[in-house]
Amino acid sequence: MAATTTSSISVSSSSSLNSSSRRCLSSLVQSRHCSFLRNNLTLNKSCKGRRSFQVVAVSMAPETQGRASFLDRKESGFLHFVKYHGLGNDFILVDNRNSTEPKVTPEQAVKLCDRNFGVGADGVIFAMPGTNGTDYTMRIFNSDGSEPEMCGNGVRCFARFIAELENLQGKHSFTVHTGAGLIVPEIQDDGKVKVDMGEPVLRAADVPTKLPANKESSAVKSDLVVDGETWSVTCVSMGNPHCVTFGRKGEQNLVVDQIQLADIGPKFEHHDVFPARTNTEFVQVFSRSHLKMRVWERGAGATLACGTGACAVVVAAVLESRSERVSTA
């Protein structure tokens, strides 16, 4: 997946601060890099009455062959889906346009997302009918079955999925209702998908975090004790909560490749200062315009990229005076 920075600040996925301090994500969601995994899954009553997923057929459908026929398949009892990823942040996308109820329960999403016994994904995303006049509604279940408000890479995959379902070519944008409000992904002429991720929420209580506000109404470079160590954190919401850290208190240059994410990630995620849990980004600064992040996602664990996380990192870097605001012309 080729990430395309749309600004001079490059993070693991691309993001930019533009003049209205809104954040845009733009990178190639698919074509040569995106794997379209076409599966038919049937929910079977296995032994002891437990539901299990049995993969009926797996094929790497070539780009051209049978695309329309697959998407038109509607056999009852089968879950048809298409798999997308944005910078390796991967999702199972389900055509749910005919119902306001997700076709998969959170419990089934956990099974589908299992990388050993299911299809494997960071989450399941539903393309649903619009709300209050929007074109569509997007809902998402994390791989632990929890439902986040928003997903930056996910909404870009969502846009490509809609274009595929509607057989659209070229530039298109859609109004999408999400848990974080109205989001408008734009498919560019070259296949990249750009999203204005909206205004960050900086008021500590609204992230939400119980950490006291120490810079206007925000929690910036706040002390957070995790497993006996004191970290310096800045809390930002992009519709979903993010805890961004550039290192332990007093630490000059965090080397993110040395972070044991599976060990420390859950301790941040479930820390009692985050009443809704949190996504956590560990950030290494190479320059004022080059940051490297590793992310432990709320409800999904370590992922390869996180769109809302990349935006939160840029906001936190600006709040901590580690980077400049970038205004696009």
Ligand X SMILES: N[C@H](CCC[C@H](N)C(=O)O)C(=O)O
Exactly one of 92, 300, 316, 326 binds ligand X (CB under 6 A); that residue is: 300
Exactly one of 82, 151, 193, 202 binds ligand X (CB under 6 A); that residue is: 151
Rounded CA separation 264/266 (Å): 6
* Binding of residue 153 to ligand X (CB under 6 A): yes
Exactly one of 185, 200, 247, 299 binds ligand X (CB under 6 A); that residue is: 299
Kindly tell me which of 232 and 303 has the beta carbon lying closer to ligand X. Answer: 303
Supply the minimum distance, in Å, between the C-beta of residue 271 and ligand X: 15
Cis, bond preceding 129 (omega within 30 deg of 0): no
306 part of the active site: yes
* Binding of residue 280 to ligand X (CB under 6 A): no
151 part of the active site: yes
Exactly one of 89, 222, 232, 237 binds ligand X (CB under 6 A); that residue is: 89
Kindly tell me which of 223 and 262 has the beta carbon lying closer to ligand X. Answer: 262
Q: Which of 24, 34, 113, 151 is catalytic?
A: 151
* Binding of residue 297 to ligand X (CB under 6 A): yes
Contacts to ligand X from residues 219-248, by CB under 6 A: 240
- Site for ligand X, rule CB under 6 A: 89, 142, 148, 151-154, 240, 279, 297-300, 303, 306-308
